[in-house]
């Protein structure tokens, strides 16, 4: 099953105990709908939100990503033999820090910048875009390598935001074309089985064949992979986990905190809102990050568009 497929309308809703039977281990993304869905959700969530202007801006970025995903031919995906070799070696087949990128990803970056400028940008963002447009290919590739390895120079944070957004589209296209039947979860279950990246947030399903299943959602290639509920994403512990939320909100997003390692991860619940999108809802609940951060827990992994944006 791919993330773009519609769940049955008569799906069973909710499961307080979290028990599910044999959920699909890996959900490959559909680049044709992934970014459009995030944009629509951000547009809806932004109305009346304390950060309405910023969420509107992020919705425009997601719209621009959708434009790139729709117009740019996807890069060549690894063949089944290459995927089998990677799986046998227990490494992700399109490893973020090892995959040889198709230069076409830079065409996607250029289209992303053109589309975003057409939507209208604040002056600081427009200046960063102009500088990025003037760069040569080697400089852009070097910065992309640095971003994928988690090493970002402070002076490059602005331009890395756009590079991250373009790489999300590129890797989402690649992941969606992998042979699902050949893939396997990694030994380190908190890492994406396709590209090896960390998750932005997770989604707890409320419909389909496995309501109540939890899927971590890759921050780079948009793959979803099954992960046990009530198990810490960072350390795998379960003794000191607790769900925390902001009193009086919708309850769609909760922070799962772990006292064993001092981290938290965010979960979006479809049972509270069937339109929940882990990428959009993560951005729209920064107040929850602030609350648990001030209480002493550190986020398990950054959202790349927040890390550099």
Hey, where are the domains in the chain? 27-181, 186-307
Read off the tokens for 154: 């402070």
Q: What is the pTM of this model?
A: 0.90
| Bridge partner residues of 203 (DSSP) | 215, 268
- Report CA 196 to chain centroid distance, whole Å: 12
Q: String of b and e for 140-163 (b: at least 16 CB within 10 Å)?
A: bbebbeebbeeebeeebebbbbbb
Please tell me if the domain spanning 27-181 has the same topology as the one spanning 186-307: yes
Task: Give the per-residue pLDDT at 75.
Answer: 66
Task: Give the per-residue pLDDT at 280.
Answer: 98
**If you count DSSP H runs as helices and E runs as strands, how many of each does the chain have, helices first?**
10, 8
Residue 286's H or E segment, with its range, is helix 286-294
Task: Give the per-residue pLDDT at 21.
Answer: 62
Residues 195, 13: Cα–Cα separation, whole Å: 31
Task: Give the per-residue pLDDT at 17.
Answer: 41
Task: Give the per-residue pLDDT at 175.
Answer: 96
Task: Give the per-residue pLDDT at 157.
Answer: 87
- Measured between alpha carbons, how far is residue 100 from residues 82, 87, 94, 191, 219 in Å? 13, 17, 8, 20, 19
Task: Give the per-residue pLDDT at 186.
Answer: 96
Task: Give the per-residue pLDDT at 124.
Answer: 85
Q: Which CATH class is domain 186-307?
A: alpha beta
Task: Give the per-residue pLDDT at 151.
Answer: 86
Residues 226, 221: Cα–Cα separation, whole Å: 15
- Long-range contacts formed by 137-145: CB under 8 A, 24+ apart: 137/103, 137/106, 140/106, 140/109, 141/101, 141/106, 144/101, 144/105, 145/97
Fold of 27-181: FdhE-like fold (3.90.1670)
Chunk the chain into consecutive blocks of 10 residues (it has 309) and report each block's average pLDDT, rounded to whole numbers: 37 37 89 97 97 95 96 79 93 93 94 88 87 94 94 86 96 95 95 97 89 96 96 96 93 97 97 97 96 96 75
Q: What is the DSSP letter of 156?
A: G
Task: Provide the phi-psi class of 20: left if phi over 0, else alpha when psi is between -120 and 50, else beta.
Answer: beta
- Report CA 148 to chain centroid distance, whole Å: 14
């Amino acid at each position: 099953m791919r993330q773009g497929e519609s769940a049955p309308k008569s799906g069973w809703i909710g499961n307080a105990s979290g028990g599910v039977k044999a959920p699909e281990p890996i959900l490959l993304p559909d680049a044709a709908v992934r970014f459009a869905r995030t944009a629509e959700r951000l547009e809806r969530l932004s109305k009346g939100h304390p950060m309405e202007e910023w969420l509107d801006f992020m919705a425009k970025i997601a719209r621009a990503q959708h434009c790139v995903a729709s117009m740019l031919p996807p890069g060549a995906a690894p063949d089944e033999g290459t995927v089998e070799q990677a799986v046998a070696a227990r490494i992700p087949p399109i490893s973020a820090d090892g995959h040889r990128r198709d230069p076409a990803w830079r065409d996607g970056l250029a289209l992303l910048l053109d589309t975003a400028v057409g939507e209208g940008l604040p002056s600081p963002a427009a200046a960063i875009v102009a500088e990025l447009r003037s760069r040569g290919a080697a400089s852009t590739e070097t910065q992309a390598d640095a971003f994928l390895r988690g090493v970002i120079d402070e002076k490059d944070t602005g331009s890395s935001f756009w590079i991250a957004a373009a790489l999300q589209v590129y890797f989402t296209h690649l992941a969606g074309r992998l042979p699902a039947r050949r893939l396997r979860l990694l030994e380190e279950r908190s890492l994406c089985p396709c590209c090896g990246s960390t998750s932005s947030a997770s989604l707890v399903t409320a419909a389909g064949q496995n309501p109540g299943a939890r899927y971590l959602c890759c921050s780079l290639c948009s793959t979803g992979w099954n992960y046990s509920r009530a198990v810490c994403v960072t350390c795998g512990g379960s003794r000191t986990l607790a769900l925390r939320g902001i009193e009086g909100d919708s309850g769609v997003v909760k922070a799962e905190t772990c006292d064993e390692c001092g981290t938290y991860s965010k979960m979006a619940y479809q049972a509270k809102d069937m339109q929940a999108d882990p990428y959009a809802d993560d951005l729209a609940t920064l107040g929850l990050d602030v609350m648990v951060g001030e209480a002493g827990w550190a986020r398990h992994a950054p959202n790349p568009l927040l890390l550099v944006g």
